[in-house]
Amino acid sequence: MVSTSSVVPQPSRQSLSALDKANFLLADVRDGMGPYLAIYLMVTLRWQPQDIGIAMSVMGITTVVMQTPAGILVDRTTRKKLFTVLASLLMAVAALLTITVPTYPVIMAGQALMGISAAWFGPAVAAITLGLVGHQALDARIGRNETFNHAGNVIAALLAGLIGHFLSSKGIFVLLAVMSLLSSISIWQIKDGEINHELARGSGESDHKTDESPWRSLLRRPSLLLFALACVLFHFANAAMLPLLGQRLSLKAQAGEASVYMSACIVVAQIVMIPVSAWVGKHASKGRKRILLVAFLVLPIRGVLYTLTNDEILLVCIQVLDGIGAGIFGVLSILIVSDLTKGTGLFNTTQGAIATAVGLGASLSNAFAGFLLQRSNFQTVFLVLASIALVALLLVWWGVPETKAAEASAQ
- Residues 107-126 have pLDDT tens digits of 889 889 988 888 888 889 98
The tens digit of pLDDT for each residue in 35-86 reads: 667 667 777 788 776 677 677 778 878 888 888 899 889 888 889 999 999 9
Residue 377 CA to its chain's centroid (Å): 29
DSSP letter for each residue of 186-247: HHHTS-GGG--HHHHTT--TT----S--HHHHHHT-HHHHHHHHHHHHHHHHHTTHHHHHHH
Question: Quick check: 333 and 284 in contact, CB under 8 A?
Answer: no
The tens digit of pLDDT for each residue in 172-191 reads: 888 889 999 999 999 999 99
The confidence band for 259, taking pLDDT boundaries of 50, 70 and 90, is: low
| Mean pLDDT taken over the chain | 83
Instruction: Indicate if the pLDDT at residue 192 is higher than 50.
Output: yes
Residue 31 confidence (pLDDT) = 63
The tens digit of pLDDT for each residue in 372-407 reads: 888 888 899 999 999 999 999 999 999 888 887 544
**How many other C-beta atoms can be found within 10 angstroms of the C-beta atom of residue 327?**
26
Residue 391 confidence (pLDDT) = 96
Quote the CA–CA distance of 71 and 292 in Å, as a whole number. Answer: 23
Q: Is 242 exposed, middle or buried (0-12, 13-18, 19+ CB in 10 A)?
A: middle
Backbone torsions φ then ψ of 329, nearest 5 degrees = -60, -40
Specify which of 43-52, 146-155, 248-257, 261-270 reaches the highest per-range mean pLDDT. 146-155
Q: What is the mean pLDDT of residues 148-170?
A: 80
Which domains does the chain possess?
A: 10-201 (1.20.1250.20), 219-411 (1.20.1250.20)
Residue 254 confidence (pLDDT) = 53
Pick the range with the lowest mean pLDDT from 159-168, 220-229, 273-282, 290-299.
159-168
The residue type at 293: L
The confidence band for 2, taking pLDDT boundaries of 50, 70 and 90, is: very low
The confidence band for 237, taking pLDDT boundaries of 50, 70 and 90, is: very high
**Residues near 35 by beta carbon (within 8 Å), at least 6 away in sequence:** none
The confidence band for 217, taking pLDDT boundaries of 50, 70 and 90, is: low
Instruction: Indicate if the pLDDT at residue 230 is higher than 90.
Output: yes
Contacts 24+ apart (CB under 8 A), 208-214: 214/72, 214/346, 214/349
Residue 276 confidence (pLDDT) = 93
Tell me which of 289 and 9 has the higher pLDDT: 289
Instruction: Indicate if the pLDDT at residue 330 is higher than 90.
Output: no
The residue type at 150: H
The residue type at 8: V
DSSP letter for each residue of 330-393: HHHHHHHHHHHHTTTT-HHHHHHHHHHHHHHHHHHHHHHHHHHHHHS-HHHHHHHHHHHHHHHH
Quote the CA–CA distance of 120 and 69 in Å, as a whole number. Answer: 9
**Residues near 188 by beta carbon (within 8 Å), at least 6 away in sequence:** 18, 81, 85
Instruction: Indicate if the pLDDT at residue 249 is higher than 70.
Output: yes
